Chain A
């Protein structure tokens, strides 16, 4: 199953490598990882997507909690949550393909953020699945470059990771 884990940790040198090292040392897998400081510059928030079974996810959460720099760990997928990922993709456009690409851009509510000569630079935010679907709908031979941020997420309603830390 796919899990999204949110980690609040001290914004200190080496904290990222402790988390990454834990995943590799224990044989856990990382599908995506994002990390950046929160509004409090002493805190970082990391979001990790991993594919694991129930037993493994319990171990991952426990091992993460054991790291001294880690303040809080939440399995977002066990809560009501929102996930988003940002895609930047460049595609080759010509007169034959333009109509189809414009259609896809509309259908997925993408932003066309740069148009130069025969290249579109497209931005799309959404769930990973939506981004996967959009990319699948493009003609692969026309895709020039792809960059995805990886997933970030947040619990809905009054469940917070950073408040009161």
Chain B
């Protein structure tokens, strides 16, 4: 029996085991929606804005490890999704985006709702396809999933003109595998590199493991734990890597970088051997690269050769799957002698005793740090926490102790405000058995509040923890430090009544103004298992994120709360973001 292109497309997605599609219909994808209507195996989540669709698919992917799918129409459908696609791309998150296109004959004619989707997405996808023939559908989808999920993962867009979804053909079976001569995925690393790394590790007197998002994307958390524990080395994790190694473990020094802990950054600065696993030496992490790890030999494990020596020149580059590379290193290190590093640990303990995450409480004022600590306590550290972007994101990363991978979901690379809420919805669909909290601010949340409607329709109960300080806090902090307190456009006047807003979308809203109400409110929120609860928490509007490395400074030049209430930056730093 002949099938049309839309049916073949939907069947292909079924063959890939797709359970959810996050999308929004429109003219160019009407046939696909018609085919979806007849498909029981895939549930379509109707978002309220295409950016929300991409973020929700992204959150679903990050929580589950499975490849999320977004479906949008041509023109504004795909342009609205771009921010979500770029967010996934920057964090190497696999995702399939299917965009409708105007009929083949109209492409290039400035047709209604026409945009060059392949051209416009080129710089923010791992790869993209324009399907030109109905017979290409199955192979293209197979290739797209293969490319998106292997190697360094990333979003892949498939643009499909409407006429191809309408045409009919005798369907071919969905292929089991795909071969591409131009795309090979590194797996096991060269054993000479493993040996060289092992030699270096065995000489290290001040070693540190610096791990990142690659260990989560590559499902290498168990290997990372075994490797680090076997050697007894200190470990610091990037914003994207939190949870791969348990934060509460004694070998963990916490997060490093701009708002990392004192001990993590000082240890990086003084280390003689850095084992970088699944990281990309991002500028938030390295601070001033000229001052980065001045005494260290650096071993870099990454599946993407273009990440190696991109920002920081490394001594040993190991290109391969971080899970396999760490397994090989575990075996190799069993035969190796390692140095006594007790002196190094005493030094680290001294840095730790600075207690860089300590903060002053003020009577009658809710501190944002306390909110995150209470959230941690109430959820027993087991929740999935998504965040938006800004101060609240840093506080969540600093004060919620992530002991498991795929529990901390945030936009690290692109820094996309509005990510948190739809990502929480996707995460809840992926892991219905877990509590999901969205830590946000009154600035970020207003970029995506429309998804509260979607969350009611599909019953995805999320607890929204809105750290409301009335400011675009991170902008305000930089203006306070580096622009002589000229608070240009960082104050948000005329905020909505968030309690009523939540209620109007059919959810529960709770306003928290006093510290003594904080914990009871959080407990009450999480008691409401099946409801989305919006906690609007009025926090200290003057609180800043500490510790901090000002732009342009090195790891050893951190500003600490209490000691350095003000910061300054040199001219080089002011040029940086």
Contact = CB atoms under 8 A, between A and B. Distances in A.
**A, B: real partners:** yes
Interface of A: 9-10, 13-14, 17-18, 21, 25, 58-59, 62-63, 65-66, 68-71, 165
B306 to A, nearest CB: 4
Contacts of A14: 118, 122, 130
Interface string B78-94: 00000000000000000
8 contacts: A13-B130, A14-B122, A18-B122, A63-B306, A65-B305, A66-B304, A68-B126, A68-B147
Interface in B84-129: 118-119, 122-123, 126-127
B563 interface: no
A9 B183 CA distance: 11
Contact of A65 (B126, B130, B306): B306
A10 B182 contact: yes
Given A62-B306, A63-B306, A70 B119 contact: no
A17 B182 contact: no
Interface string B150-192: 0000000000000000000000000000001111000000000
Interface residues of B, number: 18
B182 A9 contact: yes
B309 interface: yes
B310 interface: yes
Nearest to B125: A68
Contacts of B183: 68
B122 A21 contact: yes
Contact of B123 (A9, A25, A59, A65): A25
B313 to A, nearest CB: 8
Contacts of B180: 68
Contacts of A65: 305-306
Contacts of A71: 181-182
A1 B182 CA distance: 29
A62 B309 CA distance: 10
A71 B180 CA distance: 9
Contacts of B147: 68
Contacts of A21: 122-123
Contact of A68 (B123, B182, B306): B182
Interface of B: 118-119, 122-123, 126-127, 130, 147, 180-183, 304-306, 308-310
A9 B127 CA distance: 14
A70 B182 CA distance: 6
Given A18-B122, A25-B123, A71-B182, A66 B306 contact: yes
A69 B306 CA distance: 16
A58 B309 contact: yes
A69 B182 contact: yes
B145 to A, nearest CB: 13
Contact of A59 (B118, B122, B306): B306
Contacts of B305: 62, 65-66
A71 B182 CA distance: 4
A91 B119 CA distance: 41
B310 A165 contact: no
B154 to A, nearest CB: 10
Contacts of A59: 306, 310
Contacts of A9: 182
Given A66-B305, A70-B182, 11 more contacts: A9-B182, A18-B122, A21-B123, A58-B309, A59-B306, A62-B310, A65-B305, A66-B304, A68-B180, A68-B182, A69-B182
A156 B531 CA distance: 70
A113 to B, nearest CB: 37
Contacts of A10: 182
A133 B331 CA distance: 61
Contacts of B304: 66
A44 B183 CA distance: 16
Contacts of A165: 181
A70 B304 CA distance: 15
Nearest to A165: B181
A108 B127 CA distance: 46
Given A71-B181, A71-B182, A17 B306 contact: no
A11 to B, nearest CB: 11
Contact of B122 (A13, A17, A66): A17
Contacts of B310: 59, 62
A90 B306 CA distance: 44
Contacts of B182: 9-10, 68-71
A70 B181 CA distance: 9
A130 B181 CA distance: 38
A160 B180 CA distance: 20
Nearest to B305: A62
Nearest to B308: A62
A58 B305 CA distance: 10
A164 to B, nearest CB: 10
Nearest to A42: B181
Nearest to A8: B182
Nearest to A24: B123
